[in-house]
Amino acid sequence: METATFGSGCFWCTEAVFQELNGVKSVISGYSGGHVENPSYRQVTTGRTGHAEVVQIEFDPHVITYEEILEVFFETHDPTTPNRQGNDVGPQYRSIILYHGDEQREIAERVKAKLDKAGKWKRSIVTEIVPFEVFYPAEDYHQDYYRSNPSDGYCRYVIRPKLDKFEKVFKLKLSK
């Protein structure tokens, strides 16, 4: 098993997407990339802890590669908007890859450069690629948020449409 850590906006959306992938064994929402130890959601939402909302993904590289996980990461959010995803604004919603080792760093840099060169987006990719240091799991009520609250307004109007788009693009990689 390997670990990947990403931030691409609200962790509820990111978690819901990666939970659908074949080869992904677990997805935990949390915080990383900042300077405050054991931050709370309330602290992170101030934007002053330096942390981003992230997910930590445990995956089987024999089923899905890190590069394929990066493909999903870049396809399911806008990596060109600094400190913002949709209506979520602040440094806690930044696009960030926290790599676990030189191989992940090299792959992330290569994929980012390839996508930037291809001009997939009108603006340049601003995704940070930084070394992983520490991960703090979010509070229990944030875990499995979409699966636990599918009728919640945010889930119906933000997460579900994102999942619908994701499922069409990545149907061959889904665990269902």
- For the chain, 176 residues long, give each residue's pLDDT as a single digit of tens: 999 999 999 999 999 999 999 999 999 999 999 999 999 999 999 999 999 999 999 999 999 999 999 999 999 999 999 999 888 899 999 999 999 999 999 999 999 999 999 988 999 999 999 999 999 999 999 999 999 999 999 999 999 999 998 888 888 777 76
Secondary element (H or E) of residue 32: strand 24-32
- Of 27, 4, 25, nearest to 101 (Cα)? 4
For 168, list phi and psi in degrees, rounded to 5. -70, -45
Helix or strand run (H / E) with residue 85: strand 84-85
End-to-end CA gap in the chain:
20
pLDDT at 11: 95
Examine the residue annotation and report whether 10 is marked as an active-site residue of this protein: yes
Among the options 10, 69, 111, 138, which is catalytic? 10
Q: How far is the C-alpha of 165 from the C-alpha of 171, rounded, in Å?
A: 10
* Model confidence, pTM: 0.94
- The per-residue b/e assignment along 46-74, b for 16 or more CB within 10 angstroms, e otherwise, is eeebebbbbbbbebeeeebebebbbbbbb
pLDDT score recorded for residue 174? 79
User: Which CA distances in Å does 24 have to 64, 124, 147?
Assistant: 8, 29, 16
Tens of pLDDT, residue by residue over 41-72, are 999 999 999 999 999 999 999 999 999 999 99
Question: pLDDT value at position 172?
Answer: 77
Q: By the 8 A CB rule, do 28 and 55 touch? A: yes
